[in-house]
Amino acid sequence: MQVDYIIVGQGLCGTWLSYYLEKAGQSFIVIDESNPFTASKVASGIINPVTGRRIVKTWMIDELMPFAWEAYQSFGKKMNIECITQKPVIDFFATPQMRLSFIERYERDKQFLSLPQNENDWLPFIQYDFGYGIIQPAWLTDIQLLLSSQRSNLMAKAALREEYFDASQLIDTGDNIQYKDLITRKIIFCDGVAGFNNPFFNNLPYGLNKGEMILVEIPGLPAEQIIKKGYSLVPWKENVFWLGSTYLWEFEDDRPTGGFHLFAENWLKQTVRMPFTIVDHRASVRPATLERKPFVGMHPANNKIGILNGMGTKGCSLAPFFANQLVNHLLFNEPIMADADVQRFKKILSR
């Protein structure tokens, strides 16, 4: 069987790459071993324009936010689903210093920031002592719905193989790439944390980190916004909220830990003024990079092998943007942004 492209992985990167290739009329096969606890499937789905204690704008956010809104809206129309909504972030100040930092940033630059008319209006729901600020617009994406909808679409078109990808069976014939019975012009790896051991890209400076999250049922808690007070409470399903996440750079495995469960339970007792029930606890490892910039483009030593990976915690906004860039590069030879282009590691990858 001959196709234009093979895509390895159907997380956020593989989903968006297959979406844009299909939109461009290209043929492809996605190879993905189903795993319910990949980083994409347990992520919160937030696109937040500012970050950190200093309330700085996230990398490229002025470009990423409008692009992401249009991308998710277009995807939703095609699949007849709603996979992005506006959800302002209610940022409760944990300390007087955090309050001061927010106000100083607000006074310098009001983009994305505002202050409430009544700082006490959340007291029936949340325990806080130093007020709060509002971050908006912020988007909440339904990653699970996005991934499952594209998976159903791929299966209906016989464009998905649910199996483990065995790199040892990949053969470069010179003119093409062959994998088992598939022949293609190019193969693109969107393999998430598996990229750390990918024989073609394992020299890249990955910085894998582990995240844990709790699903908690809180009937009556308003769900029109994202609550942030150190950790985030994110509307998930009816009366169910996503609570997380951790960022562990040293870890033994990708399983949930009792320590985080206990910490999350204590946070809920100290923060939420309503009855709650913890209903699930999940963990995963994120395909982050040491530079905190993604890996996008074709291998410097073999332009038939490519990568779209390393989106880290910003995958909801970065994945559609760079999937589109990669497709335009493949089809029209348009340049990939230098900060993301994997060609910046030409010396390392050419060893």
In the chain, what percentage of residues exceed pLDDT 70?
Answer: 100
pLDDT value of residue 53: 73
Q: Is the pLDDT of residue 41 over 80?
A: no
Average pLDDT estimate for 326-330: 98
pLDDT value of residue 350: 86
In which residue are the tokens 């998976």 written?
151
Instruction: Say how many CA atoms lie within 13 Å of 188 toward its Cβ.
Output: 31
Q: How far apart are CA 311 and CA 319, in angstroms?
A: 7
Domain 2-43+144-206+291-349 bears CATH identifier 3.50.50.60 = yes
Strand, helix or coil at 114? strand
Q: Are 183 and 4 in contact (CB under 8 A)?
A: no
Q: Are 140 and 242 in contact (CB under 8 A)?
A: no
In which residue are the tokens 């007792």 written?
269
The model's confidence at residue 260, banded by pLDDT at 50, 70 and 90, is very high
Q: Are 308 and 11 in contact (CB under 8 A)?
A: no
The model's confidence at residue 322, banded by pLDDT at 50, 70 and 90, is very high
Segment among 68-77, 165-174, 243-252 with least mean pLDDT: 243-252
In the chain, what percentage of residues exceed pLDDT 90?
Answer: 90
What are the pLDDT digits (tens) for 125-159? 999 999 999 999 999 999 999 999 999 999 999 99
Domain ranges of the chain: 2-43+144-206+291-349, 209-286
Please classify residue 257 by burial: count the beta carbons closer than 10 Å to its beta carbon, then call 0-12 exposed, 13-18 middle and 19+ buried.
Answer: middle
pLDDT value of residue 51: 84
CB burial readout 101-128, b (16+ within 10 A) else e: bbbebbeeeeebbeeeeeeeebeebbeb
